[in-house]
């Protein structure tokens, strides 16, 4: 979904929003991300256009920030909502200077840090998750013998 709220008379308004070193001109919501939005964020406004308009407003207001300083895949929205994104280059689209424009593909929403305390440190959370899964597999393999 592209930003549909631009006015024609305002020639200084950019048709992309900068996020770090990327120039975002389009947002794509995956089906998985929409399902996670319904499960973990909000049950009322769950349409693709609802989610995109929410994210566009946050992008314009500079309320989307990287989770870690050098991280380019995990972002925080309003310092609470954790989402995983990928970036793709829009073909045949550039800004005025000729730099490429990007699309932000929302892979999934992990949830709100205010509701899930585990999301405050993703590295330790995922290492704990891998460890617990590995230990479960080891325990189950012992039972089968």
Q: Which positions ≥6 away from 37 have C-beta within 8 Å? A: 29, 46, 51, 109
Please tell me whether residue 84 adopts helix, strand or coil conformation.
Answer: strand
Describe the strand order of the beta sheet including 17-19 as a list of residue ranges: 17-19, 22-29, 100-112, 81-94, 74-77, 64-66
Give the side-chain half-sphere CA count within 13 A for 15.
13
Do residues 101 and 23 touch, judged by C-beta distance below 8 A? Answer: yes
What pLDDT, on a 0 to 100 scale, did the predictor assign at position 35?
A: 92
Q: Which positions ≥6 away from 100 have C-beta within 8 Å? A: 23, 89, 90, 93, 94
Give the pLDDT mean for 12-35: 84
State how far the Cα of 88 lies from the Cα of 8, in Å rounded to an integer: 27
pLDDT one-digit tens code per residue, 77-120: 998 898 999 999 988 888 888 888 999 999 989 888 888 777 77
Higher pLDDT, 71 or 1: 71
Give the pLDDT mean for 38-47: 83
């Amino acid at each position: 979904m592209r930003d549909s709220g631009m006015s024609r008379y305002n020639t200084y308004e950019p048709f992309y929003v900068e996020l770090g070193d990327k120039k975002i001109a389009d947002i794509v919501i995956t089906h998985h991300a929409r399902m996670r939005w319904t499960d973990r964020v909000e049950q009322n406004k769950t349409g693709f256009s609802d989610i995109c308009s929410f994210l566009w407003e946050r992008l314009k207001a500079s309320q989307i920030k990287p989770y870690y300083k050098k991280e380019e895949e995990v972002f925080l929205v309003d310092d609470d909502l954790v989402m995983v994104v990928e970036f793709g280059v829009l073909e045949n689209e550039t800004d005025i200077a000729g730099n490429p424009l990007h699309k932000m593909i929302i892979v999934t929403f992990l949830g709100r840090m205010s509701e899930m305390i585990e999301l405050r440190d993703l590295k330790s959370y995922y290492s704990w998750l891998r460890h617990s899964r590995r230990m479960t597999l080891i325990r189950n393999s012992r039972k089968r013998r």
